Amino acid sequence: MSDDSTAAPRFPEHQSDCSMPFTGPQFRSDVLTGQRVIVAPSRSSRPSACLSDPPLDRFPDPFAEGHESETPDERFAIRPDDSPANGPGWTLRIVPNRYPAVIASSNDQPSSGVSDDGTAMFPWQPAIGEHDVVIECPDSRSRMAELSPVEIQQMLSAWRTRFQQLSTSSSIRSMCIFRNEGFSAGASLAHCHSQIVATTELTPLDLARHERAAQHRLKTGRDLVQDLWHAERSESIRLITESSLIGVCCPFASHVAWQIRFVPKLTNPESFAVASDNVLLDMAGLLKQALASLECTLGGSFSFNLTLAHARIDQPPAFSWFLDLLPRMGRVAGWELLTNIDIVTVAPETAAEKIRQHWGTPPC
């Protein structure tokens, strides 16, 4: 496989794998969120079912070492003690996003609003919070698969540190940590980076996960995420692998084809803020292997989102945190926009089987 990170993903014979025999389209529900999906493998055989991304411009690279003046001042960095802030010498930096989705509170900004006639037809409020960019390496690498396990652990540790810092604010209620790689995943810059968006408002999925996990704990006394992992492990058909610390599977109600979930094995729900170094190191190695296995399975590099799901931070954790790796090889169209129900063109059972076949093999 070429090391050229700008190369378009290739999906040769594996397009036919997408249409392996299946019992027929199924509505499936995610017990953690209540969201529904349709698993419809026959949809993969339609023309242009798998996308090839246009390359992102790699140069000029404002995130590269030596270009620190092209970003806002860093909020956190991993660098030698004798290395001055906002200069060369770092291995990872966190800076404010130059194009933020949320902004810091302003005293001259009203706290909310309604329509001109005083009714509640057009309610609004300012989007308050902080929006960070995590620059994951000083050179111009553009793919997470090119990072070493140590560098991926460093990224996860930086997420944890910033999570801890932002969680101390009494006004922050929601934290979204994610990584977009490739055009179809929403990335606008090629350089390896991830993002952290902390807001004063809870998102609908924050509320849905909390309510469902709390109800499950009230009924059973157990963690819903851990119970879901144990169910996947028991059924085994969607299981990919597991270590002593982390389980890996293609979730039953995957939201995209080839989705992989990484679940730390915890006896009690805990915040990502206290994730151990050993768990993060193990997670880094499994993420690295998952990317290699997917590239072999899919025939080349691909766009993806990496998301951290965790309990709301303004209350004791109601469920265990976990990571989802979501390849992006299809389009969102009218059905998804009208129903908020994703169509998944590769059954998770098929995805897990194919990924297992390449697990542990050297990068293709």
Statement to judge: residues 246 and 262 lie in one domain = yes
Asked, for residue 8, whether it belongs to a domain, the answer is no
Number of H helices, E strands in the chain: 7, 13
Same domain, 184 and 211: no
- Asked if residue 337 and residue 246 are part of one domain, the reply reads yes
Mean pLDDT of 170-176: 93
Q: Give the pLDDT band (50/70/90) at residue 273.
A: very high
Q: Do 133 and 234 share a domain, yes or no?
A: no
Which of 44-53, 94-103, 240-249, 338-347 comes out lowest in average pLDDT?
A: 44-53
**CATH (domain of 163):** 3.30.428.10
Q: Residues 39, 73: one domain?
A: no
Residues 220 and 353 in one domain: yes
Among 160, 182, 199, give the residue marking a domain's end. 199
pLDDT digits (tens, 9 = 90+) for 249-272: 999 999 999 999 999 999 899 999
- Residue 161, both tokens: 């540190």
Distance from the Cα of residue 338 to its chain's centroid? 24
The vertex-139 CA angle with 176 and 54, nearest 5°, equals 70
Task: For 118-146, write each residue's pLDDT tens digit.
Answer: 567 788 889 999 999 999 999 999 999 99
Total number of domains constituting the chain = 2
Verify that 278 and 307 share a domain, yes or no. yes
Domain that holds residue 179: 68-104+122-199
Whether residue 262 is found in the same domain as residue 146: no
Nearest to 343 by CA among 51, 52, 42: 42
Q: What are the structure tokens assigned to 301, written together?
A: 């590099």
Name the pTM for this structure.
Answer: 0.90
Q: Looking at the structure, do residues 193 and 207 belong to the same domain, yes or no?
A: no
Q: Are 212 and 229 in contact (CB under 8 A)?
A: no
Residue 6 lies in a domain: no
Residues 153 and 209 placed together within one structural domain of the fold: no
Q: Nearest CA to 155 among 73, 99, 85, 76? A: 76
Residue that is last in its domain, among 150, 166, 199: 199
Is 4 a member of any domain?
no
